């Protein structure tokens, strides 16, 4: 008997001394083939007054899903709690075990497994099935461990990054990140100015005045709002977006130029199949080692391909040179060079780049700020990709809050480790 108890306990990895396992059998439960372990929980003394003057008062039975290695054979623990009535303090009580929290029918071990499943790129349905619980239970676990993300309105990071992403129903959501640590500050349901204003006005004015920079993309949508909410902050055009705009201009012109070319010509091949090389920094191209190139039928180095390709057209070459100078000026944080590049004559560049330069000139200050400061929204772009992945796995979220929590959970893994510790602490305190 005792041996049996110890064996089952070891098998299930349970350390609770109050539980005595009686049996472990295969049976059907709620239409499933399961392994059902039956345990008895008894009290030696009254938990209230520690007196042993009590009488037994019948069983209360709870059945708890437990973790199992094989999802087709779920393990359940049926705990028979033997209640007592204490004659000393006139109280009814039942034993509590540390495999579940009070008023809860899911074991802590399963909860931990669900939470760790939620941090992976998986759908809630698949997590629910693996742990033999309902989807609602998985959602409840998500709610529970997101409770720690509750907002406080006492502090804001010094450097904020504003952006937006496409979420539920193709709507745009506003997202704000810490520009340095890249943690999420807030995700709002939409990107209306009134919503953003309402959110940030919950912070006291002194907190908002302490914000030093707001980085955003070049469309001035957030610029005026940022100035209004954060009076001391510099508005910064994000470097990542600037580079993106310049490289897009170059690519746009390259593609347009190629359309007029003979598709079998050497020039066409130089520009077409090696498009990636043109977007790299010139100094990072391989310049000494020649590799046989099959489409061109000759050995070439990477920099040879680029310089020969650019010889096709003067405008293309000028645009390329501007793009390279611009990327280097940003890399070495050289606002004077940016100023020089933007204030020069633009006639030698392609029309796409001329448009880009014009819009840079319109937000000249913010562009120069962006060139001088080390922050970038590149992290936000990475996050956008991640969000799309989460949505794709879930076949689209119908509930914005659930999507939001999942994003936060997958993003802020550090806090998750804390939550696992918290669960453990709760276990030990029982
Ligand atoms: Zn008592």
pLDDT digits (tens, 9 = 90+) for 53-72: 888 888 888 888 887 777 67
Domain layout of the chain by residue ranges: 5-105, 151-238+376-429, 239-372
Please give the distance, rounded to the nearest whole angstrom, from the Cα atom of residue 343 to the centre of ligand 1.
86
**pLDDT (0 to 100) of residue 383:** 67
**Distance (Å, rounded) from C-alpha 155 to C-alpha 172?**
26
> pLDDT tens digits for 345-389?
888 888 888 888 888 888 888 888 888 877 666 666 666 677 777
- pLDDT-derived band at 416 (thresholds 50, 70, 90) equals very low
pTM for this predicted structure: 0.59
Please give the distance, rounded to the nearest whole angstrom, from the Cα atom of residue 42 to the centre of ligand 1.
15
Please give the distance, rounded to the nearest whole angstrom, from the Cα atom of residue 425 to the centre of ligand 1.
27
Q: Which CATH number fits domain 151-238+376-429: 3.30.540.10, 3.30.70.600, 3.60.20.30, 3.30.420.10?
A: 3.30.420.10
Residue 13: which region, alpha, beta or left (left: phi > 0; alpha: psi -120 to 50)?
left
Are the C-beta atoms of residues 131 and 113 closer than 8 Å to each other?
A: yes
More confident residue, 349 or 294: 349
**pLDDT (0 to 100) of residue 382:** 66
Please give the distance, rounded to the nearest whole angstrom, from the Cα atom of residue 22 to the centre of ligand 1.
27
Q: Where does 281-359 show beta strands of DSSP type E? A: 291-293, 298-300
> pLDDT tens digits for 77-105?
888 888 899 888 888 888 877 777 666 67
Q: Could you write out the DSSP letters of every residue in 109-151?
A: HHHHHHHHHHTSS--HHHHHHHTT--HHHHHHHHHHHHGGG--
**Distance (Å, rounded) from C-alpha 288 to C-alpha 302?**
9
Please give the distance, rounded to the nearest whole angstrom, from the Cα atom of residue 56 to the centre of ligand 1.
13
Residue 297: which region, alpha, beta or left (left: phi > 0; alpha: psi -120 to 50)?
left
As a three-state string, the secondary structure of 172-213 is EEEEEEECCCCCEEEEECCCCHHHHHHHHCCCCHHHHHCCCE
Please give the distance, rounded to the nearest whole angstrom, from the Cα atom of residue 53 to the centre of ligand 1.
8
**pLDDT (0 to 100) of residue 411:** 63
Are the C-beta atoms of residues 403 and 168 closer than 8 Å to each other?
A: yes
Please give the distance, rounded to the nearest whole angstrom, from the Cα atom of residue 45 to the centre of ligand 1.
8
**Distance (Å, rounded) from C-alpha 163 to C-alpha 101?**
40
**pLDDT (0 to 100) of residue 100:** 73
Residue 217 CB-half CA count within 13 A: 16
Please give the distance, rounded to the nearest whole angstrom, from the Cα atom of residue 54 to the centre of ligand 1.
8
Please give the distance, rounded to the nearest whole angstrom, from the Cα atom of residue 101 to the centre of ligand 1.
22
Please give the distance, rounded to the nearest whole angstrom, from the Cα atom of residue 44 to the centre of ligand 1.
11
Please give the distance, rounded to the nearest whole angstrom, from the Cα atom of residue 14 to the centre of ligand 1.
28
| pLDDT above 50: residue 143 | yes
Are the C-beta atoms of residues 103 and 112 closer than 8 Å to each other?
A: no
Please give the distance, rounded to the nearest whole angstrom, from the Cα atom of residue 48 to the centre of ligand 1.
5
- pLDDT-derived band at 415 (thresholds 50, 70, 90) equals very low
**pLDDT (0 to 100) of residue 414:** 43
């Amino acid at each position: 008997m005792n041996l049996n108890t110890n064996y089952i306990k070891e098998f299930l990895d349970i350390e609770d001394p109050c539980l005595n396992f009686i049996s472990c059998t295969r049976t059907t439960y709620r239409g499933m083939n399961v392994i059902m372990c039956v345990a008895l929980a008894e009290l030696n003394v009254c938990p209230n007054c520690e007196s042993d003057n009590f009488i037994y008062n019948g069983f209360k039975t709870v059945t708890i899903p437990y973790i199992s290695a094989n999802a087709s054979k779920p393990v359940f623990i049926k705990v028979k709690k033997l209640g007592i009535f204490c004659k000393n303090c006139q109280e009814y009580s039942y034993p509590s075990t540390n495999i579940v929290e009070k008023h809860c029918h899911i074991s802590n071990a399963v909860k931990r497994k669900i939470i760790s499943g939620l941090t992976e790129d998986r759908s809630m349905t698949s997590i629910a099935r693996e742990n033999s619980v309902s989807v609602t239970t998985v959602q409840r676990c998500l709610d529970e461990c997101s409770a720690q993300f509750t907002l406080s309105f006492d502090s804001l990071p010094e450097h904020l990054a504003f952006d937006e992403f496409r979420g539920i129903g193709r709507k745009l959501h506003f997202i704000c990140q810490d520009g340095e640590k890249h943690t999420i500050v807030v995700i709002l349901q939409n990107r209306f100015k009134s919503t953003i204003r309402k959110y940030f006005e919950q912070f006291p004015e002194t907190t908002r005045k302490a914000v030093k920079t707001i980085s955003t993309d070049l469309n001035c949508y957030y610029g005026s709002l940022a100035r209004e909410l954060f009076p001391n902050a510099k508005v910064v055009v994000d470097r990542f977006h600037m580079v993106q705009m310049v490289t897009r201009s170059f690519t746009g012109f390259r593609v347009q130029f190629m359309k007029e070319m003979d598709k079998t010509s050497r020039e066409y091949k130089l520009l077409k199949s090696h498009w990636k090389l043109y977007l790299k920094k010139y100094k990072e191209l391989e310049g000494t080692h020649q590799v046989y190139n099959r489409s061109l039928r000759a050995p070439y180095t990477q920099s040879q391909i680029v310089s020969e390709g650019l010889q096709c057209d003067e405008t293309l070459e000028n645009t390329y040179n501007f793009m390279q100078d611009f990327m280097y000026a940003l890399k070495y944080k050289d606002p004077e060079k940016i100023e020089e590049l933007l204030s020069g004559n633009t006639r030698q560049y392609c029309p796409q780049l001329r448009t880009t330069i014009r819009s840079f000139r319109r937000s000249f200050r913010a562009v120069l700020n962006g060139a001088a400061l080390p922050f970038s929204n590149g992290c936000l772009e990475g996050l956008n990709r991640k969000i799309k992945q989460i949505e794709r796995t879930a076949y689209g979220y119908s509930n914005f809050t659930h999507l939001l929590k999942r994003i936060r959970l997958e993003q802020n893994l550090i806090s998750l480790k804390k939550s696992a510790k918290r669960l453990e602490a709760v276990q030990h305190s029982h």
